[in-house]
Amino acid sequence: MTELLPARADSAASFPMTETQQALMIGRGEAVELGGIGCYGYFEWERPDLDPERFAAAWRKVVARHDMLRAIGRTDGTQWVPADPLPFSIPVEDLRGLSEDAAGERLAALRDEMSHVVFPVGSWPLFDLRIIRLGGPRDLGRVHLGIDLQVLDASSAFQVLFPELVDLYENPDAELPAPGIGFAEYARWRADALPHTEAFRTARDYWVERLPTLPPAPSLPTGGAGDAGREVRFDRREHRLSPADWQLFSARAHEAGLTPSVLLTAAFAEVVRCWAEESDFTINYPIFQRPAVHPDITGVLGDFTNAVMLAADGSGATFLDRAHALRDQLARDAEHGAFNGVRVLRELTRLHGVGAQAGMPVVVTSLLDYPVRRPVTDLGREVYSISQTPQVSLDVQLRELAGELRVIWDFVDGAFAPGFVDAAFGVYVDLLERITRDPESLHARRFDLIPAAERTLRREVNDTAGQIPYTTLHELFARQAELTPGAEAVVDATGRRLSYAELASYAWRIGHTLREHGAAPGELVAVVMEKGWEQYAAVYGILASGAAYLPLDPSVPAERLRRLLAEAKVDRILTQSRLDSRISWPPTARRYRVDKDFESGTDTRPGTAQTPADLAYTIFTSGSTGEPKGVMVDHIGVVNLIRDVAERFEVGARDRLLAISGLHFDASIYDVFGVLTQGGTVVLPPPFEHAEPDVWADLVRAEQVTLWNSVPVLMELLVGEAEVRERRGGGRPLESLRLSVLSGDWIPLTLPDRLRAQSPRIQVVGSGGPTETICWSLFQPIGEVDPSWTSIPYGRPITNQRYYIVDPAGYERPLGVVGEMAVASDVGLALGYWNDAERTANRFVHLPESGERAYLTGDLGRYLPDGSIEILGRDDFQVKIQGHRIELGEIEAVLRQDPEVEAAVVVAPASAHGVRRLHAFVVAAADAAGPVLERLAAQLPGSMVPAALTVLEELPLTRNGKVDRLLLASSAGRQQSADEEAVREAGDGPGSALELVLCAAVADILGLDAVAPGDNFFSLGGDSLSGTRLAGLLKELLGVPVPVKTVFQNPLLSELAEKIAADEQHGAEAVAAAEAFGELEADGTDAPDVDADADVDADADVDAVRNSKVSTDDSERGQS
């Protein structure tokens, strides 16, 4: 038993708000996310023979009994109750003379007016009661009550307020026992005595220890309603479980060792887990704890809420395991309730240094564990109700009414993606029905919660099965060469033009030679060449020998080339004579110069030595472990691709393709095989180190190129060149293009229309697919760009490919939910990674729902309503730079090998124009940046060398102890290389006087001896309440308004000073006032003393309340 409190004290003196009350008061302002509203409940009850006067009298008696119904709040976080009660009115409106339609319209208007009210801080009354006479055979009356839930919690309403209201209505002469304690005494005890108890210290230690590992709030599909300036308004979904079903459900819970509240919450967590990005998350779970500080505490009306930050752990093997874990976690958390949930959120704010975000906006409030003396139905039939709470996006309420279970979801309208609430609420209701009917469902490992309509759409999208010829790539080419031997196959930049017959002759000679020298299926022969016809002869020749080809970039550093050749166990290399003497080759490698060594020899096609399921090529891509990974692809997968493209886009003999992509880049797969197996021509540009759009434009026009395949940025450069030529009167050089496939990176939204303006008949297609899924595995024809798009959709899968969005366990995600893209196929996936069985097993998996073999791409995406996919980026630290897939970890691994580097992180933020650049951060000596970059460039290709390198004393860490990559990416994006210490030591520039005033104000508010401009207000111990006080104090000191939102959004004091000074309307005045304080201090004159905690005159408060206004959604209504 906690030490008993004394008897009632004078409540006219101010007393502190509880932590929850303070948070709700802050939420009324616009400074916080999902703010600008009060915590408000609205109810409508209807009953026959309602006596308006008797009901009003009962309400007045209840108000007189409970101080908190007369309490008035202050913005400083205190509240008071006037010694003399203030008057209030209870309007009675008679609708008995109106028609049914007219009465309905009036009731709807009244509901609209009363259901979403925001009472300003300092106003009274904080309730609005109206009584409507409806008449009819039963003489119906309706009670409309809106009440601010800052003065009382839900348990007080249903356990104290409503039962007493019923008692006093039914028996107006009833003498209810007067509470022996008021809420003011409890609030003072909570503020002054509780923090010094052992229970508080133990609870604080418990929560502070948990904070670093406390999961975040669930990331649910959003709709942006929390954006600044947008009205926050709640909507409701409701389901009722019949008395019989509710009894059965409760029995299920008790048999499983659970309370019905926990089982309902565990089921809700299953639904959230299906839609959330995280499997572990935190739910805001209010409980109502009345410490035994007085025998009459149970009859006190007030706020006893403790918002438990309840972690929902998704690791249990079965639903029941997860429910038991939730039960046990709740018990531990409730045991440490002396440290209120609002305090927990404040500690989280200090930990992360931000204060405007809604902390834990998904709430479950269960009243099932708080039995009521009289049910609220004794007031009448509940016709309608809704609630709203600041900084809450979804409030799940569980309560029993007339023997039924009421499941209520109140949510911010527009806060979630379209369709989410209805879909999630629907499957939650279905899940409750399943648990009620099937006791075995408690032991399910997981539930299929994806709506049936979504499943049907995905089956339709993934219905891609098609027949393909079972053959090899060189056999397809050989058949075409036999059909059109004289047709032009390859046009070289040097002017050489090879017919199909000539190219085939070179290929067959190479094939015979390599086979004679031991080439066999499954082995790799390297192709190390610049762009030229020799590459095509080499590729088809290697395949004809029975081996597979390994394309390598001749411009990579010699050390990397040797390492790749060694990893691939290559001892045969095809190259060009012009490169042979320029490259430092491994001493054991046997080299063949395609342009010199195969001018004669047997040119009949060698017999096929491999099957279509054998290896065709291996392409090395960037690897996260510091070593590249070799992606192995068979013949049949490429045959599937080129057959789909040929049929889809009618590729044929009249097509000519400009082969921009390097042979070592997987986009070249179509260049090499797609056109030459259909009778078309490949046009090769000159070798280039940097983009040459002028040269390409000339080639498109001169060679009448029809097909284009590249990353978007290269097409953007080409279009830019064409636009310049057109403006100069040079015509449109791209008019011959009929198809452009853009893949490998984000497509600018304006590019398709710009391209169509240069080539009116062109078809623009977006595509993608990792190397592991063979060049292109889906297509997105791009017609008119939807203005609502933030990016071009990723598309739909090609023949025999199937795309899924899955969670970390491989199960499908619902519509709009972010997950990892998985590609399933019987023929369209790589065989695995060269000499890396472990990586192969980790990335090539069998999906648990279908058993299909699939590749986990590492790309994040989500389903769109039409069944297509939107790609959102990488789930690891792998990025695309101008189409090159780069594993940041590989660059980091090389950096860490540098003797001067202690630690390294590489990020690739996008600029305002969407351009990505690599930026490295290293822990090293201050002057090490230049030498480190130079050594890095000697070991990596140019595309992997960072554009900038910043030296730090240490790397920043997240709350989980990991490197804070998001912080570094933000820093790189803003090009800020100075750390907080540099800001702190900045000189006396403009605004430094303002910084000093801010520092002094913060020190005063937080009770600190010294504060510096580089300090973070929240990290110093500030919270939402002290932030509000700071805004008020700054207004007093500077003589200009400083919005609380400005304080919350600029926690770094130097940035706050800069923001205040930059204000167009008040900035100059604020700076002048700050400088005046500086001059007073220099003269030795005392500056004016502003006490942030000064008492407020009670008489002035009463006058202010008498003249206060209450804002509603549509009007302002005077309160008196």
Q: Could you state, in order of their start, the residue ranges of all structural domains in the chain?
A: 217-373+388-449, 450-464+802-875, 887-977, 982-1082
For residue 876, what pLDDT band results from cuts at 50, 70 and 90? low
CA dist list (Å): 340 to 166, 286, 330, 894: 32, 10, 14, 48
> pLDDT value at position 942?
67
Per-residue pLDDT for 621 more than 50?
Answer: yes
| Minimum mean pLDDT range among 124-133, 347-356, 516-525, 579-588 | 347-356
Sequential DSSP letters for 888-913:
HHHHHHHHHTSTT-SEEEEE--B-TT
Q: Do the beta carbons of residue 864 and residue 601 sit within 8 Å? A: no
Task: Report the distance separating Cα 672 and Cα 473, nearest Å.
Answer: 10
Cα(239)–Cα(242) distance, integer angstroms: 10
User: Residues 93-105, buried b or exposed e (16+ Cβ, 10 A)?
Assistant: eebeeeeeeebee
More confident residue, 173 or 987: 173
SS3 of residue 1045 by DSSP: helix
852 SS3 class: coil
DSSP code string of 664-685: TSTTHHHHHHTTTTTT-EEE-P
**H or E element that contains 93:** strand 92-94
Name the CA dihedral angle for 260, 264, 267, 269, rounded to a multiple of 10 degrees: -120
pLDDT tens-place string over residues 461-489: 999 999 999 999 999 999 999 999 999 99
pLDDT of amino acid 1114: 34
Work out the average pLDDT over 905-924.
78
Mean pLDDT of 850-854: 96
User: How many C-beta atoms lie closer than 10 Å to residue 417's C-beta?
Assistant: 19
Determine the 3-state secondary structure of 490 from DSSP: strand
What CATH superfamily classification does 982-1082 receive?
ACP-like (1.10.1200.10)
Q: What own/partner pairs with CB < 8 Å and gap ≥ 24 does 907-915 have?
A: 907/965, 907/968, 907/969, 907/972, 908/879, 908/881, 908/969, 909/969, 909/970, 909/972, 909/973, 910/973, 911/973, 914/746, 914/748
Q: How confident is the model at residue 889 (pLDDT cuts 50, 70, 90)?
A: low
User: What single DSSP character describes residue 986?
Assistant: -
Q: How many Å from the N-terminal Cα to the C-terminal Cα in the chain? A: 42
- Tell how far CA 957 is from the center of its chain: 20
Residue 875: predicted pLDDT? 63
**Which CATH architecture group holds 887-977?**
2-Layer Sandwich (3.30)
Helix axes 992-1006, 1067-1082, angle to 10 degrees: 80
**For the chain, what percent of residues have pLDDT higher than 90?**
60
Give the least confident one: 130-139, 711-720, 834-843, 1007-1016.
Answer: 1007-1016
Supply the pLDDT for residue 476. Answer: 98
The pLDDT tens digits of the residues spanning 1021-1030 come to 787 777 778 8
Distance from C-alpha of 131 to C-alpha of 146, rounded to nearest angstrom: 12
Residue 985 has pLDDT above 90, yes or no: no
Q: What's the pLDDT score for residue 676? A: 98
What is the rounded CA–CA span in Å between residue 1105 and residue 72? 8
Q: Is the pLDDT of residue 721 over 90?
A: yes
Task: Tell me the average pLDDT of the chain.
Answer: 87
Containing H/E element for 810?
none
Q: 217-373+388-449 has which fold?
A: Chloramphenicol Acetyltransferase (3.30.559)
pLDDT value, residue 916: 73
SS3 288: strand
Q: Is the pLDDT of residue 972 over 60?
A: yes
Instruction: Give the pLDDT confidence score for residue 977 in this predicted structure.
Output: 37
pLDDT above 50: residue 981: no
Instruction: Indicate if the pLDDT at residue 554 is higher than 70.
Output: yes
The tens digit of pLDDT for each residue in 688-704 reads 888 899 999 999 999 99
pLDDT at residue 98 is higher than 90: yes
Segment 717-739 shows an average pLDDT of 94
Query: Alpha-carbon distance 1011 to 76, whole Å?
Result: 22
Sheet containing 590-593: order of strands: 590-593, 572-575, 524-528, 548-552, 615-621, 629-634, 832-833
The 10s digit of each residue's pLDDT in 30-46 is 766 666 778 889 999 99
Residue 976: predicted pLDDT:
39
Strands 869-874 and 832-833: unpaired
Stated as kind and residue range, the H or E segment containing 378 is: none
Is there a contact between 633 and 543 (Cβ–Cβ < 8 Å)? no
Please say whether the beta carbons of 533 and 498 come within 8 A: yes
| CATH code at 450-464+802-875 | 2.30.38.10
The predicted model gives 549-575 an average pLDDT of: 93
pLDDT tens digits along 121-151: 889 999 999 999 998 889 999 999 999 998 9
| Confidence (pLDDT) at 623 | 56
d(CA 1083, CA 994): 18
Mean pLDDT of 274-280: 89
**Higher pLDDT, residue 993 or 778:** 778
| Alpha carbon separation from 1074 to 100, 1026, 1040, 1057 (Å, rounded) | 65, 21, 11, 10
Task: Please check the confidence at residue 274 and state whether its pLDDT lies above 70.
Answer: yes
Whether residue 5 is predicted with pLDDT greater than 80 in this model: the reply is: no
Q: At 412, list the tokens.
A: 């911010």
pLDDT at position 1084: 55
Question: In sequence order, which residues have a C-beta less than 8 Å from that of residue 643 and are 6 or more positions away?
Answer: 466, 468, 469, 799
Q: Which residues contact 47 (CB under 8 A, 6 or more apart)?
A: 140, 141, 143, 379, 380, 381
User: Contact 919/948 with Cβ under 8 angstroms?
Assistant: yes
The predicted model gives 781-803 an average pLDDT of: 88
Q: Does 990 have pLDDT greater than 60?
A: no
Q: Which residue has the higher pLDDT, 1070 or 491?
A: 491
Residue 766 bridge partners (DSSP): 742, 780
Token pair in block for residue 1065: 């309307």
The C-alpha atoms of residue 969 and residue 971 are separated, in whole angstroms, by 5
Rounded to an integer, the average pLDDT of 385-396 is 89
Least confident of 70-84, 395-409, 788-802, 1104-1118: 1104-1118
Q: What is the pLDDT of residues 806-848, one digit of tens each?
A: 998 999 999 988 889 999 999 999 999 999 999 999 999 999 9
pLDDT given at position 171: 94
Indicate the pLDDT class of residue 1092, thresholds 50, 70 and 90: very low
Query: Does residue 884 have a pLDDT over 80?
Result: no
Q: What is the mean pLDDT of residues 527-552?
A: 98
Q: Distance between CA atoms of 899 and 51, rounded to whole angstroms?
A: 88
Which has the higher per-residue pLDDT, 652 or 175? 652
- 213-264 confidence digits (pLDDT tens): 899 889 888 774 334 445 678 899 999 999 999 999 999 999 999 999 999 9
Q: What is the pLDDT of residue 1033?
A: 83
Q: Which residue has the tokens 């009901």?
A: 55
**Confidence at residue 711, expressed as pLDDT on a 0 to 100 scale:** 87
